[in-house]
Amino acid sequence: MPRASTPPAPGPVVPRRRTVLRAGLGAGLALPLAAGCGPADEARPAAERAEVAVLVGAVAAEQDIIALYEAARAARVLPAARLEAILGRHREHLAALRRLYVPGSGTRARALPSATPRTAPARSRLLAELRAAEAKAARDRLAEVAKADPGLAQVLASIGACEAGHAAALELV
């Protein structure tokens, strides 16, 4: 008849040698990768700087377009409901981009720019500026996708698609 196993006595848990070796081997392989050792590391700083520049540029562009829409709100260029919906989307874009920014990241990172207040030009000119700004923003986000890592590229592509939609909607006004 088999003996009933008794539970181990309470006390410190001592890992088995095989578990320790396996963990050590895994950590030993992961450490150089995590530390950035290897041939790809030489190109990494330049790529990171480029990505920070892309992110900071996208933040500045969103702030500029928000300032433009706020001037449009003051000039009553669009119906309030439509304008607020688009302005809300741009504020969401800005918040998403700011969440991705890590202060001091990259070797040439600078502080995120702040929005520049705008004066309200004539209504027709402001509407033309909105159309042009949305179309340019959509093109710029598309161009930036190629310079970004997959996570940032996905955010930029989504924002660019939304801005292309705004540009198309403004053509109907």
Domain that holds residue 57: 47-110+121-171
In a domain, 63, yes or no: yes
The per-residue pLDDT string of the chain (173 residues; one tens digit each, 9 = 90 and over) reads: 555 555 555 544 444 444 433 434 333 333 333 333 334 434 446 667 778 889 999 999 999 999 999 999 988 888 999 999 999 999 999 999 999 887 665 433 344 555 555 555 677 888 999 999 999 999 999 999 998 999 999 999 999 999 999 999 998 88
In a domain, 20, yes or no: no
pTM, rounded to two decimals: 0.64
CATH number of the domain where residue 100 is located: 1.20.1260.10
In a domain, 29, yes or no: no
**What's the rounded Cα separation, in Å, for the pair 132 and 79?**
19
In a domain, 55, yes or no: yes
Angle between helices 80-100 and 150-171 (to 10 degrees): 170
In a domain, 164, yes or no: yes
**Domain count of the fold of the chain:** 1
In a domain, 158, yes or no: yes
In a domain, 79, yes or no: yes
